Amino acid sequence: MLVRSKRWGKIAFLLGVWFYFFMTAASAKVVERIVAVVNDEVISQSEVDQMAKAIQSRPGAKLPPGSGKELQRQLLDALIMQKLAKAEAKRRGIAVSEKEVEKALEDFKKQNGITDDESLVRMLAKNGMTLKGFKQQLSDQMTQDRLLSVVAGSKVVVTDNDVRQFYEQEYPKTGGKMLHLKMLNMPLPADATEAQREELRKKAEAILQEQRQGASLSDLAQKHGVMIQDLGFVAERDLDPELAQFLSKVKTGDTAPVETLDGFRLVEVVGRQEGRGRSFEDAAPEIRAILQRREMEKTFQEWIKSQKDRAHIKIMM
């Protein structure tokens, strides 16, 4: 049986940067229609479709609100922003070395339990991606992060009072239960039919049966070409209440199937422990980094919108 969960709760912010790389993962090149031109860069329909699939492949992520043409336009706007950011980084001479990309790729493989490039290639192929395209997206994301620091880093000031206020108002002071979770993610297409949902349900149940017969989630993820994420220890309070209640009945070491509106997830409870509260002095560096990143992203979004106003953009959808 698959337990249903309408929400995935606060867990999304814990998933780390790795799934973000799939936001714009490139698929194999095909001849198809162009939906926009940004200065001298084109955006194809497959890029828009791939972004939608990639967002859905990330646990806890949801597509922007809207449907049909409205949703397509929101995704296209995000791609336009990415093209502008990439062009500006090039103009400023911001680049990422091949060695840095390889290091990020190795970190990605380690984070997701992928043991070799062959397994990664198979997994990417099943998601309509190539290793070359994925490396390019790693490079693009690292480049954009550096552009963000250049554009917004010097404009953001986080005071001691800001840090203290965040600690007092938002930062958890108590310990509580912690769960070490591993999650195998199986998303559905945005326009999935009931037949597709049923097919994916059977696949999830088959994978779960293999896992209960002794196969590890990491091996199953590589075999079936699906993503697995080791979340480490997650505070129970940061989970969706419905999910937290369900997992409280799952024994340590067991795996639970969860059905959501956008697909299926197999969640393994690796371990449990009691969390501990953190003093202000201990938490302050982490809080400062959170606040700095938050404000930098706001500043960067405002800046990139100003770039859009000055760019030559033609929409054909």
Query: In the chain, where are the structural domains located?
Result: 17-157+298-315
Q: Exposed/middle/buried for 186, CB within 10 Å: 0-12, 13-18, 19+?
A: buried
Residue 68 banded pLDDT, cuts 50, 70, 90: low
- pLDDT score recorded for residue 234: 84
Nearest residue to 11 via CA among 171, 182, 175:
182
Element (H, E) at 134: helix 131-152
CATH topology of domain 17-157+298-315: Triger factor/SurA peptide-binding fold (1.10.4030)
- pLDDT score recorded for residue 94: 93
The more confident residue out of 58 and 205 is: 205
**Would you state the structure tokens that stand for residue 246, as one six-digit string?**
């369900």
Q: Which residues pair with 6 in a beta bridge?
A: none
Say whether pLDDT at 249 is over 70. Answer: yes
For residue 64, give Cα distances in angstroms to 22, 71, 89, 236, 255: 16, 7, 26, 27, 30
For residue 146, give Cα distances in angstroms to 86, 90, 143, 155: 11, 11, 5, 15
Say whether pLDDT at 203 is over 70. Answer: yes
Calculate mean pLDDT across residues 199-224.
87
Residues 26 and 128 sit within 8 Å (Cβ to Cβ): no
**Would you state the structure tokens that stand for residue 214, as one six-digit string?**
């002794």
**CB neighbours of 259 closer than 8 A, spacing ≥ 6?**
2, 3, 4, 5, 201
The more confident residue out of 8 and 192 is: 192
Count of residues making up the chain:
317
Query: Which regions of the chain does DSSP assign to beta strands (E)?
Result: 3-4, 34-38, 41-44, 176-187, 227-235, 255-260, 263-275, 313-315
For residue 84, give Cα distances in angstroms to 71, 137, 175, 299: 20, 15, 44, 15
Q: Which amino acid is at 86?
A: K
- Which among 21-35, 187-201, 282-296 has the top mean pLDDT? 282-296
Say whether pLDDT at 130 is over 80. Answer: yes
pTM for this prediction: 0.61
Residue 62 banded pLDDT, cuts 50, 70, 90: low
Residues 219 and 309 sit within 8 Å (Cβ to Cβ): no
